[in-house]
Structure formats: C-alpha cells, structure tokens
C-alpha cells in the first residue's frame, strides 16, 4: 500500500461537527512535537518520593472504606519467557516457570494485607492483569490467584465489571482463552507491535499473523466484550509501506480498540533497547508518515480517535464515554472507571486512592522480602496538595475531552482561572494564534489540528515540568 502524498495544508478526518474529528497539520506538528509526560497521572510518577510509606497507604484505605468507594484492581505479573528489545516495562525475563509460584504466594499475602483494611462490600468494578506476561502463570496458578482475589475482594459475578488481561499471543491458545473467560475476564489486550518478520527479528519478537488471529478469533467466539491490539511505530526496519500493511492486516481482525504508540528509543534508561541498532530506526519524517497513514487507514475503517494514541469503534465504551463527558485517565490509560480507587498489587504496582499515590518496590527481591515480613512493599509515592488537585483536573479535562470550561474549575476549587494561570496565558494565546486551540475568556477548546498534540497543551499546566529533564519522556508524536 502506497502512502498518501504529504500535504502542506491541514488534512482532516471525520466531520468538523464530530467530537472525534482530527486534522493533520505538518507545520503545527513540527512546532509542538516535543518530549513530555503521557499524564496517566498528575503529578506524574517522576515526582514520587520516599516520604510515602505503608502507613500512608493504610490511612488512605481506611478513608476509602469509610466512603465505600468502588475499586479498580491492577495485578502486575512481571515474568516474560523472552525479551522484547523495545520494552520499557518492569519485567523479569526467565524460562524458569517455577519462579511464578513463590511470587504468587507473596502476591496472595499482599492481597490479604490490603483487603483487611477495606469493606467487603466495596465492589471491584474494574480488574486488570498486566505485565510482563500474565499468562506466564499456569492455568492452575491463574485459577488459584483469581480464587484468592474473589475470597478477599467483592468481585462481580454477573459479567458487568470490566475485567481485562494483557495477552502475548505466543503464550496463549484456545484453552487459555476459555479459562480466562471462565474465570471472569471479558476484555483482552494483545501485544502485536508489528507483523513484518524483518521488524520482528530486529526487536526479538517473532509472532505470526496466524498466532494473533487465533487469539482474536477465540476472543470473539467466547464473547469477550472487547479486544484491544497494541501497535508501535518507529521500530527498527519499519517504513511507511510495511507498517501500512501491518495496520491493514490488524484492521481485518476487527479489534474494538487499537493503540498506536510512538516508540521512544531511550537506551540509557532501558537496557534491552541497547540491543537495537539505532542506525535501523526510521527517520522522524518516516515516523510522521507512518502515523498519518495509520490515521488515514483507521479513520476509513470507522475508528474514532480517542486521544493519546488510542482509537476505538464508535460503539465502544471509551468512545461513548468521551461523547457524554465521563471519560477519564489513570495509570491504566483511558478508562470509564476513574471514579474508583485504584489499588495496585505486585512488584512496581501503583495505587491511586483519593489524593494519595503509592508505589510498591520495583525490585522483585525487595518486594518479596517485605511480604515475607508481613509488611506491605510500599516504597514511594506522593500526597497531592491543593495545587496538584487543580492542575490534575485541568489536565484530565483537556486530555479526555479536548475542551475546558474555566467556570467548572473555578466552582470546584474557588479560584479565578485567568489569575491562577496567568503565567501560562501568553503561551495559550500563542497556541491560539498558531491554530492549536481556540481560546476565549471562558474556555479552551483543542482544535481538530491540535488534538494529536494535546499533551503539549497539558504540559503548560504542569507545575513540575520546568524542573525536570524532558529527555526521559517520549515525544508527543
């Protein structure tokens, strides 16, 4: 498939009146494509410090219990049988399946220590297993873990919850999918990244289209509610024509959602990336071409741009939530369950309970030793102050809805928006002159040509960003 010619003028997708319309403006992208946070939280995890420990977490759990807030559980399974060179996740690469059981035993202890501080009637609206590779666990181990969760938390039994798991199609088959459905999972997210064999060899992830299709077919047959597929552009040996073929083949699988991520090559931070030949990485211009072509293809196939690399079919819950103004964002990405207290379980897992962020140790030995001593593995975190809450609300609204009414923030936090953010007003005015946003005395609206760059707008409201080295972040596009 040949890539469409690049145009100097903005190229728009969708109807201007539609909430999901976006425009491709090369000049605007070149001006505002900078490195910055993805804002799965504000403040971001970079601001976490050692002043937060297990006592703070227990205090927050008590408040959650008193308020009877619903819950979202995240379970981190760090093990992978093989290393993918692009990966920036917290993982343990091992062929030894026997390492799973000792970890599972500590995870069960953590579940018990957390659950006893919550009310048994607090419902778990959302559950997500991530990794690593969650299906590194055997079928018996998965049964045991889900049984332990059901014993200590109020998991829903009527399939009404959003219970998802990340799948490596090389580590699953029809029987695995049947087991997951039986255990209560109704959403799956599949890592694909790219289907071209040369690209796969360059990143050490050989995965055929047939392997992927088998898992997607199983998910559809077994009536999983949603299938998400992850793709990455900017990997070694990729070019626009090859990546367009991957996108075309993935669209044919009919996933409900797609994530099309920009690969951030940061070998100084992530050791596996040092095995990637930097000379084989596509140029910035080729990366832009890959993204624009992908947007062409996905829009033509009926997918809506949700924001921040995410696309969904119009009847998907994320698209509907964005329409009715209830879409939110947390450490699990875009979600319809941002009102829940998020409890992270496992090594490196992050919790967000009220105004407290807390994170477990990212070192597997330290995590397991803490639980062996009947202690939570909380190592760091952050307690939000009033300024954090204001800025979090602003960033959340912009990144989810592409618009912000100042009166909403003023009512909620008793501030005068223009005065409170006077230091960024000139930059907002410049963004308005450039066509990134519409700016009035009452509101900000991100224009269709600015929606791909919404992170750049959010960065203006980040109080901490000026103190940070932005090279630790991926670029916006």
Domains in the chain (CATH in brackets) are: 45-343 (3.80.30.20), 386-468 (1.10.10.920)
Confidence of residue 35 (pLDDT cuts 50, 70, 90): confident
The SS3 assignment for 310 reads: strand
Q: What distance in Å separates the CA atoms of residue 153 and residue 151, rounded to the nearest whole number? A: 6
Numbered residues of the known binding site for [4Fe-4S] cluster: 80, 84, 87
Does 322 have pLDDT greater than 80? Answer: yes
SS3 234: coil
Of 283, 211, 206, 304, nearest to 249 by C-alpha is: 211
| Residue 359: per-residue pLDDT | 98
Q: DSSP states of 162-226 as a string?
A: EEEEEE-GGG--HHHHHHHHHHT--EEEEEEE---HHHHHHHT----HHHHHHHHHHHHHTT-SE
Q: 3-class DSSP state for residue 78?
A: coil
pLDDT band at 472 (very low <50, low <70, confident <90, very high): low
R_g over Cα of the chain: 22
pLDDT digits (tens, 9 = 90+) for 341-394: 999 999 999 999 999 999 999 999 999 999 999 999 999 999 999 999 999 999
pLDDT score recorded for residue 386: 97
Query: How far is residue 427's CA from residue 437's CA, in Å, rounded to a whole number?
Result: 11
pLDDT higher than 90, residue 406: yes
pLDDT value at residue 458? 96
Q: Could you tell me the CA-to-CA distances from 469 to 31, 37, 359, 473 in Å, in that order?
A: 19, 11, 22, 8
Report the DSSP beta bridge partners of residue 329: 334
Q: What is the mean pLDDT of the chain?
A: 93
Which parts are annotated binding residues for S-adenosyl-L-methionine? Answer: 74, 86-88, 131-133, 166, 193, 205, 230, 264, 350
Burial class (CB in 10 A: 0-12, 13-18, 19+), 96: exposed
- Whole-number percent of the chain with pLDDT over 70: 95
Residue ranges at the known binding site = 74, 80, 84, 86-88, 131-133, 166, 193, 205, 230, 264, 350
What residues contact 132, with CB distance under 8 A and at least 6 apart?
Answer: 76, 77, 78, 79, 80, 89, 90, 91, 92
pLDDT per position as a tens digit, 451-464: 999 999 999 999 99
Give residue-wise pLDDT tens across range 186-234: 999 999 999 999 999 999 999 999 999 999 999 999 999 999 999 999 9
Is pLDDT of 471 > 70?
Answer: no
Residue 8: pLDDT band (50, 70, 90) is very low
Q: What pLDDT does 467 receive?
A: 78
């Amino acid at each position: 498939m040949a890539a469409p010619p690049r145009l100097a003028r903005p190229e728009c997708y969708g109807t201007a009146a539609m909430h999901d319309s976006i425009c491709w403006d090369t000049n605007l992208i070149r001006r505002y494509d900078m490195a910055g946070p993805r804002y799965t939280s504000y403040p971001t995890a970079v601001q976490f410090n050692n002043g937060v420990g297990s006592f703070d977490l227990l205090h927050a759990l008590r408040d959650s219990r008193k308020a009877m807030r619903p819950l979202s559980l995240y379970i981190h399974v760090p093990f992978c049988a093989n290393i993918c060179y692009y990966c920036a996740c917290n993982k343990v690469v091992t062929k030894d399946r026997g390492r799973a059981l000792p970890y599972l035993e500590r995870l069960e202890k953590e579940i018990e220590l957390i659950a006893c501080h919550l009310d048994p009637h607090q419902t778990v609206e959302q559950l997500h297993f991530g990794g690593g590779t969650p299906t590194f666990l055997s079928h018996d181990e998965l049964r045991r873990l889900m049984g332990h969760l059901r014993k200590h938390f109020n998991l829903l039994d009527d399939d009404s919850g959003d219970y998802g798991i990340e799948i490596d199609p090389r580590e699953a088959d029809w029987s695995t999918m049947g087991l997951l459905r039986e255990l209560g999972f109704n959403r799956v997210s599949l890592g694909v990244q790219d289907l071209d064999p040369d690209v796969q060899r360059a990143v050490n992830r050989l995965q055929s289209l047939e392997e992927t299709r088998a898992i997607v077919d199983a998910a559809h047959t077994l009536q999983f509610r949603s299938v998400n597929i992850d793709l990455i552009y900017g990997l070694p040996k990729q070019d626009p024509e090859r990546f367009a073929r991957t996108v075309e083949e993935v669209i044919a699988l009919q996933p409900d959602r797609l994530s099309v991520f920009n690969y951030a090559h940061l070998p100084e931070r992530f050791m596996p990336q040092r095995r990637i030949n930097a000379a084989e990485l596509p140029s910035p211009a080729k990366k832009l071409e890959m993204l624009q072509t992908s947007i062409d293809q996905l829009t033509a196939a009926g997918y809506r741009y949700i924001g921040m690399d995410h696309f969904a079919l119009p009847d998907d819950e994320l698209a509907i939530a964005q329409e009715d103004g209830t879409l939110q964002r947390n450490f699990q990405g875009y979600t319809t369950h941002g009102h829940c207290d998020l409890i992270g379980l496992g090594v490196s897992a992050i919790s967000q309970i009220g105004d407290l962020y807390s994170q477990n140790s990212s070192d597997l030995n330290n995590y397991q030793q803490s639980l062996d001593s009947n202690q939570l593995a909380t190592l760091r975190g952050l307690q939000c102050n009033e300024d954090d809450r204001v800025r979090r609300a602003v960033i959340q609204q912009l990144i989810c809805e592409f618009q912000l009414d100042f009166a909403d923030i003023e009512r909620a936090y008793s501030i005068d928006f223009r005065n409170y953010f006077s230091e960024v007003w000139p930059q907002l005015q410049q963004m308005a002159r450039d066509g990134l946003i519409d700016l009035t005395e009452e509101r900000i609206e991100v224009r269709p040509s600015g929606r791909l760059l919404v992170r750049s707008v959010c960065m203006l409201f980040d109080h901490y960003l000026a103190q940070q080295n932005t090279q630790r972040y991926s670029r916006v596009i």
